[in-house]
Amino acid sequence: ETGVTQTPRHLVMGMTNKKSLKCEQHLGHNAMYWYKQSAKKPLELMFVYNFKEQTENNSVPSRFSPECPNSSHLFLHLHTLQPEDSALYLCASSSSVGRDQYEQYFGPGTRLTVT
């Protein structure tokens, strides 16, 4: 499959559960991102990884734990979430060089519902 893929596409979890979101990109990029999209709010950048190293953490609560084992894969581990964490979580990737960095390629998202 080409582009950026995300699994699962939908996830319902209780506040005491632990789950993980997965993102994979097949574009040869070295930068990967997690965004949160809530209703009536702008898309919020959560984390940025460059060459597997985290370069941006936008004051995200520790109940969200990212992992980037290689430049093609990105995970978001979730534990003890709150109902207000329900949102669409988008993964994106881009080049790590020059102005091409901001042409980000997005995945379809994971719709997360916390009950």
Partner 1 sequence: AQRVTQPEKLLSVFKGAPVELKCNYSYSGSPELFWYVQYSRQRLQLLLRHISRESIKGFTADLNKGETSFHLKKPFAQEEDSAMYYCALANSGGYQKVTFGTGTKLQVIP
Q: By the criterion CB under 8 A, which residues form the site for partner 1?
A: 4, 31, 33, 40-43, 45, 48, 50, 55-56, 90, 94, 98-99, 101-109
Q: Please, what is the minimum distance in Å from the beta carbon of residue 5 to partner 1?
A: 10
Amino acid, res. 16: T
Q: Which of 39, 48, 42 is nearest to 113 (CA)?
A: 39
Q: Which of 34, 36, 22, 24 is nearest to 82 (CA)?
A: 36
Q: Please, what is the minimum distance in Å from the beta carbon of residue 106 to partner 1?
A: 4
Whether 37 contacts 90, CB under 8 Å = yes
Q: Please, what is the minimum distance in Å from the beta carbon of residue 78 to partner 1?
A: 22
Closer residue to partner 1 in complex, CB, 13/45: 45
Q: What angle do CA 51, 53, 57 make, to 5 degrees?
A: 130
Closer residue to partner 1 in complex, CB, 81/94: 94
